[in-house]
Amino acid sequence: MSRPDRSASGAATHAPRARRATIRRLIATRRIATQEELRALLAKDGFHCTQATLSRDLARLGARHVSRPDGGSLYELEELRAPPPEDPMIGLPGVIRQIAENGALVVIQTQPGIAPAIARSIDMARLDGALGTLAGDDTIFVAPVRGTKSRRLMATLEDFLGKAGVA
């Protein structure tokens, strides 16, 4: 760890790099919902900072405060691109109305209002063959990566979403 510098008040302060590395580690290993929670964890590691400093660090790291499909929110780092720590489809029975493909895309019909959360869970899972999603209120378009047949991607999605149950 970096050597602490002394502030004008004599209190030890740590270099911003070391503090940001600790923020990265905390976000990667814990579910952190608020800046206050993150500040408390940093303080336990010896990093005391203001809310403004923490906000700047989070912005510099590219941290985002995102909504969870199961409710609540947490901080995540784009660079980590890890799947959610728990299955995002648990507790969503009957939300999928239909899954179909047309040779180019897979289209998922959902109950109203739920498509963005399901699209996010598909993106976070980084499913084999899925390039990305586009969601409206009750419809998701899933684009396959080049060379992946939409029928194969549909089977992958059906397996992934199977726990949600088709209504």
Q: Where are the domains of the chain?
A: 5-77, 96-164
In this predicted structure, what is the pLDDT of residue 163? Answer: 47
In 3D space, the residue among 28, 20, 19 whose CA is nearest the CA of residue 46 turns out to be 19
Distance CA 140, CA 109 (A): 7
Q: The tokens of 116 are what?
A: 């963005």
Choosing among 3.30.1360.40, 3.40.440.10, 3.40.220.10, 3.40.190.80, the CATH entry for 96-164 is: 3.30.1360.40
Q: What is the pTM of this model?
A: 0.46
Mean pLDDT, the chain cut into blocks of 10 residues (167 residues total): 42 70 86 92 91 90 79 75 44 74 92 86 89 93 93 89 56
In this predicted structure, what is the pLDDT of residue 68? Answer: 72
| Cα 27 versus chain centre, distance | 11
Choosing among 1.10.10.10, 1.10.150.120, 1.10.3720.10, 1.10.760.10, the CATH entry for 5-77 is: 1.10.10.10
In this predicted structure, what is the pLDDT of residue 93? Answer: 54
